[in-house]
Each structure stands twice: as C-alpha cells, then as structure tokens.
Amino acid sequence: MSNEETVSGGLSRRAFLSSAGAAGVVSAIEGRIVMAQENGVKTASAVRTPEAGGGAGIVAVTLRVNGKEQKVRIDPRASLLDCLRESVGLTGTKKGCDHGQCGACTVHVNGRRVLSCLSLAMMHEGDEVTTIEGIGQPGNLHAVQAAFVAHDAYQCGYCTSGQIMSGVALLKEPCGPADADVKELMSGNICRCGAYPNIVAAIQQVRKGA
C-alpha cells in the first residue's frame, strides 16, 4: 500500500501540491516574518527592553521529533503544530480548529498525547515529540493504523492521524474494558464524517488482541 497517490509522471500528490504551491507558500511565510519584525520593533521602542532569549523575530529551536533532532528557525509565536507542518515538514499532523476543540493536531510529547495547536513550539526544546509519521510507515503499520484500515475507521481521513495518535496513547492509559470507556477517552477527537463506531471497533480490536 502506498500513502502517496501518483498524479502524473511519477509525481506524488503531496510532491505535486508542494511544488505547485511553492511560490505562494514562500511569500506567505516571508510576509509573516516581516510582520513579526515590524511588531517587534514597534513594541520594543514603546515599552520593552530586550532580554536574552526574548524579543520578537526569529528564534532558533532544536526539537527532537520521531527520534531525530530537528534544528528550526521559527517565529516565537509558532505553535508546535505549525512548526511540525511548516518548518519540520511533517504534514501528517493536521490543523482542524486550531483552538483545542477538535483533536486533529494530537501528537505525543514524552509519550503523552497533547494538542499541538495549544502549545508553543519553543516550549518543547528537550522534549520527545512523536507524530503520526513516527509510529508506523507504509508496509510497517502500527497495530492501531492497521486496525483503522481493517475497520474502515475513516471517510475523508482528515481527523485520522489525530484519532490514531489518541488511540495509540489510550493503549497505555487507565481505561475500562467497555466501548463506552473508549468513547469517553476518545471524545477529544472529533470526526466530521461520523466514523465513530468503526474507530471504536478498531481501537477495541487492538486492545483485545494486546
């Protein structure tokens, strides 16, 4: 199974979208950086005294993502979610509501599931961050990933990486045996398509098989 559909001439869908949108992406990022610097200068002259490690602009941060060190230069305001997607280039983690209400951005930090949208990337130096890319690959799926495939636990797939990251974390959390217990602990992951019964079935299959 391949997770990247071929569009044409051996170009994957992800690669095609990336190259087609490259010009727009670059200018959007540059625009944001410029805006941040303007704000920084304005406030600095008004009230602030620069401090070591503080101030506006760009900060160098070293993250450990899926066991690999990642040196990135980010806007201090960047959420862990935006940093993972835009700076590290791991786009498996999805942005849904960006306000901690949908769970699409769920990743693991030091083995615990958290919402990457409600966390500043620079607060995670020294932490072990795990994304959907880090728990399994095509041909070597995590048991929860395989169960999601077997149970058709998705339709559009947008919430799926968040659902799977929650499901994987749930395996190590205190959770009763019933479907209702799984539903309760999965309630922070919203599925707009309503694949909930299949999601619960997939997770329960892994729990019972484990």
Partner 1 sequence: MHTFEFVRANDPALAVAITSQAKTAQQGADMRFVAGGTTLLDLMKLNVEQPAKLVDVNGLPLDKIERTADGGLKIGATMRNADLAHHADVQRDYPVLSQAILQGASAQIRNMATTAGNLLQRTRCMFFRDTAMPCNKREPGSGCPAIGGGNRMLAILGTSEQCIASNPSDMNVAMAALEAVVHIRGAKGERDVAIGEFHVLPGNTPSRENVLEPGDLITHVTLPAAAKGSKSIYLKLRDRTSYEFALASAAVIVNVADGRFERVRIAMGGVGTKPWRMPEAEAALVGQAVGDEAVMRRAAEAGLKDARPQSENGFKVELAKRCLVYALKQATQNA
- Whole-angstrom Cα distance, residue 135 to residue 165? 8
Kindly state whether residue 192 participates in binding partner 1, applying the rule CB under 8 A. no
- Whole-angstrom Cα distance, residue 114 to residue 117? 9
- Whole-angstrom Cα distance, residue 156 to residue 165? 17
How far does CA 115 lie from the centroid of its chain? Answer: 8
Kindly state whether residue 76 participates in binding partner 1, applying the rule CB under 8 A. yes
Q: How far is the CB of 40 from partner 1 (least distance, A)?
A: 5
Whether 170 and 118 have beta carbons less than 8 Å apart is answered as: no
Q: How far is the CB of 164 from partner 1 (least distance, A)?
A: 13
Q: How far is the CB of 180 from partner 1 (least distance, A)?
A: 9
Kindly state whether residue 177 participates in binding partner 1, applying the rule CB under 8 A. no
Q: How far is the CB of 113 from partner 1 (least distance, A)?
A: 5
Q: How far is the CB of 101 from partner 1 (least distance, A)?
A: 9
Compute the C-alpha angle 91/111/131, nearest 5°: 10
59-65 and 68-74 beta bridge pairing: antiparallel
Residues 6+ apart with CB under 8 A from 70: 62, 63, 64, 87, 88
Q: Which of 103, 130, 151, 161 binds partner 1 (CB under 8 A)?
A: 103
- Whole-angstrom Cα distance, residue 173 to residue 185? 9
Q: Which of 4, 15, 22, 54 binds partner 1 (CB under 8 A)?
A: 54
The site for partner 1, by CB under 8 A, has a size of 41
- Whole-angstrom Cα distance, residue 203 to residue 210? 11
Q: How far is the CB of 4 from partner 1 (least distance, A)?
A: 28
Kindly state whether residue 39 participates in binding partner 1, applying the rule CB under 8 A. yes
Select from 38-46, 88-96, 129-137, 200-208 the region that touches partner 1 (CB under 8 A).
38-46
Contacts with partner 1, residue ranges (CB under 8 A): 36, 39-40, 43, 47-48, 51, 53-56, 76-77, 79, 98-100, 103, 106, 112-115, 117-120, 122-123, 166, 169-170, 173-174, 183-189
